[in-house]
Amino acid sequence: MSLVVGSNRGSLLQRAPFDFFAKARGWLGVAPFTIFVAVFLLWPAFSVFRLALQPVVGSTKPAMLEAISGQYLSAILFSVRLSAITALIGMVIGTLVAIAIVAQDRFRGLRNLMVGYSAVAANQGGIPLAFAFIASLGMQGLYTRVLSEFGINLTDMGFKISGFAGIVLVYLYFQIPLMTLVMLPAVDGLKVTLKEAAANLGASPRQYWRRVGVPLLSPSLLGGFLLLFANAFSAYATAFALSSGGTRLVSVQIRFFLQGNTITGKSNLGYALAAWMIIVMIVAMSGFLALRQVSEKWRR
């Protein structure tokens, strides 16, 4: 018996170094990514918060508190309102598009076409997108001129591509396809047997969606809304190009400070605004990840 125990102990001692190296090899695989995140994400974020917590000249309160007052607070609220509206509209339309794609699943070519377009449009933004909409719906845009020939004057109706409604319209160009891509797996996860069971119990299609489909999709819907909100809140180049830098987006306000156009003694206000943007993004993305885990449970 002692010989058996001794041999087992010896095998464990011999195996221990190999287990250690196996675990170390696994950690070495993620070491480059960990170093990259630490150098280019965590350390800059730490530096931003360190400078944002310093007081401005002539005041004892940190810059982060001053960043949520006056014109700076209005810029944050403007960005939140723009992000919430585009996220809500994008969530509704993108979900309906995803449902329509799944309903026409027998047309595989149509699904592949829509998925391919959505993947491209969801990542389309910046200066090229702004230029495309200016050339289409600007004061001298192609569609603006065409509509004027039919007696429809967008300017007289109060629409400007550089205004709030115009920025919302441009943002929806990439918000709707992104929501479509997010909702396609969730809609695919709705088992056909659920719809058949509801129909056998006498439920109409509207009752099925109200009592079965929407409740099951609600985690994905809320998660998609938060993702779209974060996507719009962090956008910068498109709105800046549309309004020539005149928009009240908080990201444009940060650019104002980064260019050196700062009030004397208040140079760290830009860092404070950036810190608030980081906080909003962390909250939104944390909610998205939590809701995504919930939605994945019932699809298993």
Give the model confidence (pLDDT) of 127-142 as tens digits.
888 899 999 988 888 8
Q: Which residues contact 185 (CB under 8 A, 6 or more apart)?
A: 299
pLDDT, residue 181, reads 94
CA gap 98, 248 in Å, rounded: 33
Burial class (CB in 10 A: 0-12, 13-18, 19+), 13: exposed
pLDDT, residue 88, reads 96
Calculate what percentage of the chain has a pLDDT beyond 70.
85
The three-point CA angle 63-68-71 to 5° equals 105
Residues in the chain: 300
How far from 76 is each of 141, 160, 225, 251, CA to CA, in Å?
A: 31, 22, 19, 9
pLDDT, residue 253, reads 83
Confidence of residue 5 (pLDDT cuts 50, 70, 90): very low
Residue 262 pLDDT more than 80? no
When pLDDT is averaged across residues 193-216 and rounded to a whole number, the result is 83
Q: Are 298 and 271 in contact (CB under 8 A)?
A: no
Q: Are 251 and 236 in contact (CB under 8 A)?
A: yes
Residue 294 token pair:
């919930």
Q: Are 241 and 131 in contact (CB under 8 A)?
A: yes
CA gap 216, 43 in Å, rounded: 40
Where along the chain do its domains lie? 1-52, 66-297
Q: Are 229 and 79 in contact (CB under 8 A)?
A: no
Confidence of residue 8 (pLDDT cuts 50, 70, 90): low
| CB-based burial, 82-119: b 16+ in 10 Å, e otherwise | bbebbbebbbebbbebbbebbeeeeeeeeeeebbeebe
Q: Are 95 and 179 in contact (CB under 8 A)?
A: yes
Tens of pLDDT, residues 72-114: 888 889 999 999 999 999 999 999 999 998 888 777 778 888 8
DSSP 236-250: -HHHHHHHTT-S--H
- Homologous superfamily, domain 66-297: MetI-like (1.10.3720.10)
